[in-house]
Structure 1
Amino acid sequence: MKNLFILSSIVLFLSCTQPKEKTFITDASCGQCQFGLKSQKGCDLAIKVNDKAYFIDGAHIDDFGDAHDENIGFCNVVRKVEVTGKVEDGRFKATSFKIAKK
């Protein structure tokens, strides 16, 4: 019985310490060109969560058209997106990413 209690406590603790996925309506753009991130070279997609920019895994900067397009490209424009995921190891791990409707 004591072992069952200990095992249950460990499982509960581990499930509480894992970051939970959340859905955000937030800004997305090129981390280097628009958000000033310098930890990577080139142009990479990033989002802002609580006013902090994070590079994103799970979506690519060219998935939504040419990143350097003057009107919609993430290197030139900050766009509103709906994104689901969690911050992990200093990056945002996305399970869903879509351009928010205006």
Structure 2
Amino acid sequence: MKKIIFLFILINFLSYSEKQEKEIITEAACGQCKFGMKSQKGCDLAVKIDDKTYFIDGAHIDGFGDAHDIDKGFCNTIRKVKITGKIEHDRYKVSQFKIIE
């Protein structure tokens, strides 16, 4: 019985920590053009977290300039970003997104 209670507490703790927003520094780019994601068509903003890529909800690929700009566009360049959000249903729900120059 103690093992079951411990397991229940552990599962609740892990699921609670997954739902909390975290601030991290990571890479962002076009999921299709730069990260090779094929689950959506077109050009969509994505981030890489722990070697896994996630499309973003809450920020748009053209919200930071032309996505196809040769030097700084997300379809041509992987950018370093500071983001706050959480992973939900295999997507990253972003509440803050800042490009680090």
Q: What band does the TM-score fall into relative to the shorter chain?
A: 0.7 to 0.9
Q: Matched residues in 2 for 1:100 and 1:83: separation?
A: 10
The secondary structure found in structure 2 opposite 1:24 is strand
RMSD: 1.3
TM-score by length of 1: 0.82
Q: 1:77 — aligned with what?
A: 77
What SS does the aligned partner of 1:87 have? Answer: strand
Displacement of 1:52 in angstroms is: 0.5
Aligned twin of 1:23: 23
Structure 2: any 5+ residue segments left out of the alignment?
Answer: 1-11
Of all paired residues, the percent bearing the same amino acid is: 61
Larger radius of gyration: 1
Q: How big is each residue's C-alpha offset from its partner over 1:54-87, in whole Å with a ceiling of 9 and x where there is no partner? A: 0000100001100000000000000000000000
Q: Could you report, residue by residue, the CA deviation over 1:16-53 in whole angstroms, capped at 9, with x for unpaired residues? A: 63411111100000000000100000000000011110
**Runs of 5+ unmatched residues, structure 1:** 1-12
What's the secondary structure of 1:37's corresponding residue? Answer: coil
TM value normalised by structure 2: 0.82
SS at 1:84's partner residue? strand
Question: How far, CA to CA, are the matches of 1:42 and 1:32 in structure 2?
Answer: 7
Q: How many Å separate the matches in 2 of 1:35 and 1:45?
A: 10
